[in-house]
Amino acid sequence: MTDARSIATESVRSFNARDHTAHRALYADDVVLEAPGGVRVVGGAAAEFAVAFLAAFPDGRNAVHDLVVEGDWCVQRFTFTGTHRGTLAGPGGGVEPTNRAVSLRVIEMLRARDGKIVEQHVYFDQLELLAQLGLRPSTGAAM
């Protein structure tokens, strides 16, 4: 497993299977991960991002709709679904469980080198997540 497609596919498989050991093994020591909320982590903390999300949404799953590969880059469009049953880490502190189900559209870009993820960018609508958790008004409401 050395190409971007197989690494991205294994990332989703290990995430959905809660195989934290396999998921962590996908990341290079110098990986950089960027995500909404100003998240930018380097190294081992990048692999822990997914583990922490699964702690907050223990039944969380990614369903991939599209996967596009160009060279060492892979872009995936998927839907994340899960129930908020654990503390969700946030920039202002932890969000206690709401026991609400969420369904988020997500775009993820990752770059592979030497069989490992060296760069990962995750994009999702934070306001939509907060609305689905009941912490903000729905983003679909008329203004």
Q: Give the CATH number, domain containing residue 31.
A: 3.10.450.50
* Predicted TM-score (pTM) above 0.85: yes
140 assigned to some structural domain:
no
pLDDT digits (tens, 9 = 90+) for 60-77: 999 999 999 999 999 999
**Single-letter residue type at 124:** F
List the domain range (segments joined by +) for residue 9: 4-132
Question: Is the model's pLDDT at 136 over the cut of 90?
Answer: no
Where b means 16+ CB within 10 Å and e means fewer, 12-46 reads bebbeeeeeeebeebbbeebbbebeeeeebeeeeb
141 assigned to some structural domain:
no
9 assigned to some structural domain:
yes
- Determine the pLDDT at residue 92: 73
How many structural domains does the chain have? 1
- Determine the pLDDT at residue 139: 61
